[in-house]
Amino acid sequence: MGVPFKDILVYLDGSESSMTAVMYAIKLAKENDAKLTAVFVVNTKALSELVKAGIFVAIERDEYQRDLQSDADRYLRHAAKLALQKHVEIETVKLEGTVHVVVRQLLKEKQADLLILGGITDIRSRREELASETDRLLRTSPCPVLVVRDDDDIWLEFEA
């Protein structure tokens, strides 16, 4: 685990704030000459929950599974394109499972020294079941976490 950071992992879920986090991660990786990995998780845990709860029928589960895979590929391609713009090498990783569990595992495998997240929500409810996957990642990460606020300045600076 080193400072300055040498092995950075950024989590993206397709939200605007996670794309802001990717931009920030690219700039930080460039400044620190660090290795950068972008990870997207196909949330098969949520799909299983929906089938178990009877919300999805089988045909629907299969359709959404394909949609989720397409989502992952699209957003990871976009992250790679953004990195290329700034001449930063990026490894893109697509995982399946429970988001905070598989990302934590990847962080350990890679011995990453920084996790970058966007989209941490304010505490709006005491209900544990309303915590987002990003919130869970923040709480369970084995390495330091940097939370990028959804800030227009980051987009402007990146595009400059």
Partner 1 sequence: MNLLDVLDKDLVKVPLTRSDKQGIITELVEVVAKAKGYTTVQYEAVLDAVLDRESLGSTGIGNGIAIPHAKTDVMDHVTMVVGISRFPVDFASPDGQKSRIFFLVLAPSSEASAHVELLASIARTCTSQVFRRMLEQSKDREEVVRLFME
Interface with partner 1 by CB under 8 A: which residues? Answer: 13-15, 43, 45-47, 49-50, 53-57, 59-60, 64, 67-68, 70-72, 121, 124-127, 129-133
d(CA 148, CA 106): 20
Query: At which residue do the structure tokens 């987009």 appear?
Result: 155
At 67, list the tokens: 């949609």
3-state secondary structure at position 148: strand
| Nearer residue to partner 1 within complex by CB, 15 or 32 | 15
User: What end-to-end distance do the CA atoms of the chain give, in Å?
Assistant: 32
Query: At which residue do the structure tokens 């001449």 appear?
Result: 87
| Nearer residue to partner 1 within complex by CB, 110 or 136 | 136
Nearest distance in Å: CB 7, partner 1: 26
| Nearer residue to partner 1 within complex by CB, 5 or 56 | 56
Nearest distance in Å: CB 137, partner 1: 14
DSSP 113: S
Nearest distance in Å: CB 96, partner 1: 12
- Please report, as a single letter, which amino acid is at residue 101: V
| Nearer residue to partner 1 within complex by CB, 49 or 157 | 49
3-state secondary structure at position 138: helix
Nearest distance in Å: CB 140, partner 1: 17
